[in-house]
Structure 1
Amino acid sequence: MAELRFLKELGYDRRLVGGLRIQDDITVVVGITDETEDEGYQEQLFKRFEKIYYRHLEIVRKDDCGFTWDFMGSHMIVSSRPLLLHYTPVSKNTESLNNEGRLIFQTMQDYESYSAKAVKKAVLTATLKRVWDHTLSKQLVLGAMGFAICEADLRGYPPEVSLGALVNLTKAVPTQALRTLLSAMRVSADWVKGIRRERGTDQATDR
């Protein structure tokens, strides 16, 4: 494997590698301290990495992305004080929901579609758990989880189901971050219910 060969070629510097996880795409982050004497070290490292692949494979560098960039449908963020690298999954509909309040991609079934509602509940719970497990920052991922619940609501999922999935995760992982998100989503759900009652559109749903 080319990536493992690259690590072996690092020699003594291999001890500085914090970790390696092979996916369908690769992101390389090089950090240097103020005491680093070789100012061209990071550029040399990038060049060495590019050479491990065959010539027909094009390597696209994104050095101008700043401190945040897209990676495999998620966001990578570098923060300082303390210096941390964050990986936060996002939904395909995050941008459209945030900017326009609408869905573009069909990432989950409509609640009234043909499959059993119990299956939809289980899938939504599994989706939230996967997002929670994959992130490197539990605080930053709360927004993505909120958008996932909003998407379920727009697909016709009643609050008892969409919030129920979050309740299940909060019981399994009892953290303050999830409890705070659950409280916020409950307030939002109550507000929506109030509007529906005023309009006479609040209907009983099948649990």
Structure 2
Amino acid sequence: MASFDLSALGISGPILLLLGLLSLASVSVLVARLLALWTIGTGRAKRDEALEKLARGEAVTVSDQGPADRVLLRATALIETGVSVEVLTSELEQRGNAESHALYRGVRFLELVGMIAPLLGLLGTVLGMIQSFRSLELAEGAANASILAGGIWQALLTTAAGLVVAIPALVGAAILTARAEAGSEEIERTMVGALSSASQRMKK
């Protein structure tokens, strides 16, 4: 079976290895976060029903399936204890901010990979070109164009690898950001609904 030897690429080999590790890490983070955010917008009808019951003073059962559900659970527990609207607002803002912040987990890492990978690829290309010209200088006899050409394609390989790693990472970061924003909007919507339900309940 044919095998690829990174040592044959000289100084560019370690750069390619590092890019491979970054690619593996970014794909793992992206898949994990996509699975976590996949159902971020589900359960709205059940939450709306729970908020209506909460406003009428009826018993409410909420399943812990997502960040908006956890905010509603917290709101339900606080309303049942009879806290004031001011205390409820403060508590929900803290919980909502914490849940919203957690939704963006992994985005900064993917953005960082998207910025670093092309620079690492460029660094590998520069180092590879230096190595190629050095080999050409040390070659005995007449200069051989194949020596230079072989070194150049090996050097440019790291630039291509850097872009291959960076582009999916940046696309993944954009997708996760969109899902996180949708989740944050649902959290805010649930918070507003809970405060409205609490106000209606207190008027009765």
TM-score grouping bracket, smaller chain normalisation = under 0.3
TM-score, structure 2 normalization: 0.27
Could you say which structure has the higher strand fraction? 1
TM-score, structure 1 normalization: 0.26
Could you say which structure has the higher helix fraction? 2
Q: Which has the higher contact order (CA 8 A, sep 6+)?
A: 2
